[in-house]
Amino acid sequence: MSVTSRQKEIIADYDFIENRQERLGAIVDAARHLPHLPDGQRNEQNLVPGCTSRVWLIGDYRDGQCHFRADCDSPLVRGLVVLLANAYHGTDIADVIATEPFLLQELEVWRDLTPTRQNGLNSVRQRITALAASWA
């Protein structure tokens, strides 16, 4: 599946929620029910620089696909980084590198984020790109 298709699928999962604050709440709640990264993976090596909250991103490349998992010590940011990691999970390297995320804008949550959180999410995107480029 392409990154664009994955993003459209994620958007469809939340787009029916008309109120954007409720939509953001649903994103946060969905991530709350996912397992956290094990303590061994919540380390300095996996820490994403440029984030105010502590955000960890891990990835690997197998069977021709990129796989990403993210975690954070802030529930709100965790919801957003998990969503972003899921948009690129299970896709190929070239697509990960070439396709910018649009799901946060489409879901109308981007505009309610502080510039600091926006910069942090941009840092997560850069880390995703860097990991994919390292596997190329």
* Sign of the torsion formed by the C-alpha atoms of 37, 40, 46 and 48: positive
Tens-place pLDDT, residues 57-76:
999 999 999 999 999 999 99
As given in the structure block, the two tokens for residue 120 are 């942090």
Q: Is residue 77 within 8 Å of 51, Cβ to Cβ?
A: yes
Cβ(93)–Cβ(132) below 8 Å: yes
Rounded to two decimals, the pTM is: 0.94
Token digits of residue 23: 């939509």
Distance CA 134, CA 42 (A): 21
CATH assignment, 3-135:
3.90.1010.10
Query: Which tens digit of pLDDT belongs to each residue from 91-122?
Result: 999 999 999 999 999 999 999 899 999 999 99
